[in-house]
Amino acid sequence: MSLIEKALIDKIKVKANVLKHRAIDQHVNLAVTGLSRSGKTAFITSLVNQLINENSQSQMTFFSTIHEGRFIAAKRVPQKDLHIARFDYDSAAKALSEEPPCWPLPTKGISQLRLAIKYQPNNSIIKYTTDNATIFIDITDYPGEWLLDLPMLNQTFEEWSEVMTELLKQAPRVEIAEEFIQRLESLSPFDPVDEKLLAELSEQYTQLLQTFRNEMGLSLIQPGRFILPGDLAGAPILQFFPYTNFSDIDLDAYQKAEEDTLIGMLRARYIEYKERVVKAFYKEHFVNFDRQIILADCLTPLNNGYGSFNDLQQAMNLITESFRYGKANFLTRMFSPKIDKLLFAATKSDHVTPEQHGNLTSLLNQLIHPIRQKINFENITTETIAISSVKATQFGKSQHQGKTLPVIRGIKLPERKQITLFPGMVPKALPAESYWQDNSFNFMPFAPLESTGLHQPFQHIRMDQVLEFLLGDKMK
Ligand code: GDP
Per-residue model confidence as pLDDT tens digits over 46-82: 999 999 998 877 889 999 999 999 999 999 999 888 8
Sequence-separated (6 or more) residues with CB below 8 Å from residue 252: none
Domain span including residue 162? 150-282
Helices 157-168, 174-185: axis angle to 10 degrees equals 130
* Same domain, yes or no: 110 and 41: yes
373, pLDDT greater than 90: no
What letter represents residue 91's amino acid? S
* Ligand 1 within 6 A of CB of 390: yes
- Residue 278: which of 245, 339, 321, 246 has the closest Cα? 321
CB-based burial label for 250 (10 Å; 0-12, 13-18, 19+): exposed
Q: What confidence category does residue 328 fall into, taking pLDDT thresholds of 50, 70 and 90?
A: low
Query: Does 111 share its domain with 165?
Result: no
Alpha-carbon distance values, 391 to 331, 408, 420 (Å)? 37, 11, 15
What are the backbone dihedrals phi and psi of residue 433, each rounded to the nearest 5 degrees, phi first?
Answer: -55, -30
CA of 330 to the centre of ligand 1 (A): 34
Interval 21-33 mean pLDDT: 79
Alpha-carbon torsion (305, 307, 310, 311), positive or negative? negative
Instruction: Specify the CATH number for the domain of residue 96.
Output: 3.40.50.300
**With contact defined as beta carbons under 8 Å apart, do 173 and 217 qualify?**
no
Mean pLDDT of 389-409: 92
**Averaged pLDDT for residues 96-122:** 93
pLDDT number for residue 126 = 56
Dihedral angle over CA of 396, 424, 392, 214, nearest 10: -170
Residues 6+ apart with CB under 8 A from 387: 43, 345, 346, 347, 349, 460, 461, 462, 463, 465, 466
Residue whose CA lies nearest to ligand 1 atom number 28: 348
Query: Do 166 and 136 share a structural domain?
Result: no
Q: Distance from the CA of 37 to the center of ligand 1, in angstroms?
A: 6
Domain end: 242, 265, 282, which one?
282
Decide if 24 is inside a domain.
yes
Model pLDDT, residue 320: 87
Is residue 388 lining ligand 1, measured as CB closer than 6 Å?
A: yes
The DSSP secondary-structure symbol of 52 reads H
Average pLDDT over residues 412-422: 94
**C-alpha closest to that of 341 among 375, 385, 389:** 375
Residues 122 and 182 occupy one common structural domain:
no
Cis peptide before 151 (omega within 30 of 0): no
Q: Does some domain include residue 413?
A: no
Mutate to test the pocket of ligand 1, among 41, 146, 419, 461 (most ligand atoms within 8 A of CB): 41
Could you give the CA distance from residue 51 to residue 457 in angstroms, rounded to a whole number? 8
- The closest residue, in CA terms, to atom 15 on ligand 1 is 103
Q: What is the sign of the dihedral through the CA atoms of 404, 405, 408 and 411?
A: negative
437 falls within a domain? no
Residue 11: predicted pLDDT: 59
User: Which of 103, 110, 446 to mutate to test ligand 1, by most ligand atoms within 8 A of the CB atom?
Assistant: 103
Nearest of 227, 223, 211, 225 to residue 174 by alpha carbon:
211
| Dist. CA 347 → ligand 1 center (Å) | 8
For ligand 1, the distance from its centroid to the CA atom of residue 309, given in whole angstroms, is 18
Residue 444 lies in a domain: no
- The rounded Å distance from CA 82 to ligand 1 centre is 27
Expressed in angstroms and rounded, the spacing between residue 283 Cα and the centre of ligand 1 is 29
Kindly state whether residue 366 falls inside one of the protein's structural domains. Answer: yes
Distance from the CA of 275 to the center of ligand 1, in angstroms?
Answer: 32
Question: How many CB atoms are closer than 10 A to CB 455?
Answer: 12
Ligand 1 pocket, 38 CB below 6 A? yes
306 and 200 part of one domain:
no
Q: What is the DSSP letter of 218?
A: -
Same structural domain, 154 and 142? no
The pTM of the full predicted model, rounded to 2 decimals, is 0.90
Q: Are 412 and 446 in contact (CB under 8 A)?
A: yes
- Among protein residues, the one whose CA lies closest to atom 10 of ligand 1: 37
Q: What is the pLDDT of residues 201-229, one digit of tens each?
A: 999 999 999 999 999 989 999 999 999 99
Residues 229, 301 within the same domain: no
Beta carbon of 33 within 6 Å of any ligand 1 atom: no
With cut-offs at 50, 70 and 90, classify the pLDDT of residue 295: very high
Q: How many domains does the chain have?
A: 2
